[in-house]
Structures are given as structure tokens and as C-alpha cells.
Amino acid sequence: MAVATVKEFLSANGVPHIVIKHPLAFTATSVAGAAHIPGKEMAKVVVVNLDRKPVLAVLPADRQVDLERLRLSAGAATAELTHEREFTADFPGCEVGAMPPFGNLYGLDVYVDPHLALDKEIAFNAGTHTELIRMAYQDFERLVKPRLVAM
């Protein structure tokens, strides 16, 4: 199960975190509401193909990814949303649409909207539609080494 994988990874790296159980929710904004997390601290993960290579675009739940802005910021020639059927197998143990922003656990580069870096904490789906993890953004940045880009 993905939540166990992320928790093990965080524990192995000495990262304090909490797991928050919440009612079933499928969109990042509804997860934030169900878990009583501000939308600006709730990270949503969007799988995007930059130059035909899948990457994770991570942004606050209350924002929409601007593919053209992401493309320009990342220095890519093309940027397209990836259809769920194309990436489901890339996130073993995760429910569709509930993958965590740890691209390093899945061999994917991670691009983070700078708005997420403004808060001390980050919360994100932990592989299910009923659990999320909350931790310090600084620890997330240290472990994942995302690239901050406007999107």
C-alpha cells in the first residue's frame, strides 16, 4: 500500500509527519475540506508530459495548472496533461488520482508551484482517497528535491 511506503520512507529519513484520515473525497479541494486543511497547504499532484516525459506537477489544491506557463518555466518544448489510463500502472498501490508528490519514489521528476513553498507545512494524498499526510514543507523539499517553477 502506498501510504505504508511513504510512511516508511519518511520514518527512515527521520521526518516527523502525521497521517490524517478523512471521509472519502476525490478532488484536492474536497480532500482539503474533509481534512480541515487550508487549500493553499493541500498539494495536488497532476501528471504532465513535458517533452513526452511524465513528470509530477505539484500545486496548491486551490490552483489550476497552467500548462503553457509550466512549459515555459521548465524550458520544455511541449506540455500535455497525461490521461489516467497512461499512468495508473506507474503508481503501484495507489488509488487512481491519489498518488503522493514523491516522484523520487516512482522515478519521476517533480515540479512544484512556488506558492506551496510559502507555507511551513504541506499536506497531500498518501495513495488513498481517505488518508493524507501532513509534514513540514522543508522536509518535503529536502527529500524530493523538486524544481520550483511557475505554473
Alpha-carbon distances of 102 from 22, 32, 34, 72, 126, rounded to whole Å? 21, 19, 22, 23, 10
| Interatomic CA distance for residues 145 and 20, integer angstroms | 24
Q: pTM of the full predicted structure?
A: 0.92
DSSP result, 80-101: EEPPHHHHGGGSTTPPTT---S
pLDDT value at residue 3: 65
For the record, the C-alpha cell of 121 comes out as 507545512
| Interatomic CA distance for residues 103 and 89, integer angstroms | 14
Within 51-127, residue ranges assigned H as helices are 67-74, 84-87, 114-117
Domain boundaries, the chain: 2-148
The tens-digit pLDDT sequence of the chain (151 residues) is 466 788 899 999 999 999 999 989 888 888 888 888 888 889 999 999 999 999 999 999 989 999 999 999 999 999 999 998 888 888 988 998 899 999 999 999 999 999 999 989 999 998 999 999 999 999 999 999 999 998 9
Q: Which residue has the cell 519514489?
A: 105
Let me know: does 100 contact 127? Beta carbons within 8 Å: yes
The CATH architecture that domain 2-148 belongs to is Alpha-Beta Complex (3.90)
Helix (H, G, I), strand (E, B) or coil at 147: strand
